[in-house]
Amino acid sequence: MSLLSVTVKKAHYVGAPGAAQFNSYVTLKLQNVKSTTVTVKGASPCWEQDFLFETNDLNTGLLIEVWSKGMIWDRAMGYHWLPLQGIPYTTNQAEAAKWLSLDAELVMRDSEVVGTKNPTGNSLLVECRFELPFGVLASLIARNVLLLRIDAATLPRDGAACWRMRNSCALPVVAGAPPSSPFPKLALP
């Protein structure tokens, strides 16, 4: 079971007459679950709303929809399809925040959304990441402490080899790594 954390931050609308009068909201759809932000007015609305989704299927995606609230019907302002396999497992919120381009149309296959097309010029800032499972961060830190204790004589002498060795682990390193370490320090939250 994976836990997907999504923060809808803000949007920027361009080229639409009366954009300052939009009352817009965002819906997030993952499998059979739908979550919605509050409605915010303006051409650059700010929500800063957090959502959590549980999923077992990483072969699907998150459908993000931006809507303008109307008197009778709401109007779609754009869509973005975010494949789950492209979302990182991280504790770094800055790494997970991205401006997403909104498209005008959904791409369907067998009555399932598989993408979006035709850019609208509108964009949405979303922070999207998978949470590390309970206990994984502690075990990663413990493993890196062991890596840092490797005798300096066993480390490669050239910088490129050290960099390849570090990247092959694909693990963060611990805060407070010694200055002589080939591994950079990790700023833990």
> DSSP labels for 32-54?
TEEEEPPPEESSS-EEEEEEEEE
Distance CA 97, CA 9 (A): 9
pLDDT exceeds cutoff 80 at 108: yes
Q: What is the pLDDT of residues 147-179, one digit of tens each?
A: 555 544 455 555 555 555 555 544 444 444 445
Closest CA to 29 of 58, 12, 53, 50: 53
pLDDT interval class at 91 (50, 70, 90): confident
- Full-model pTM: 0.70
Q: For 44-60, how does the pLDDT look when each residue is reduced to its tens digit (9 = 90+)?
A: 899 999 999 999 899 99
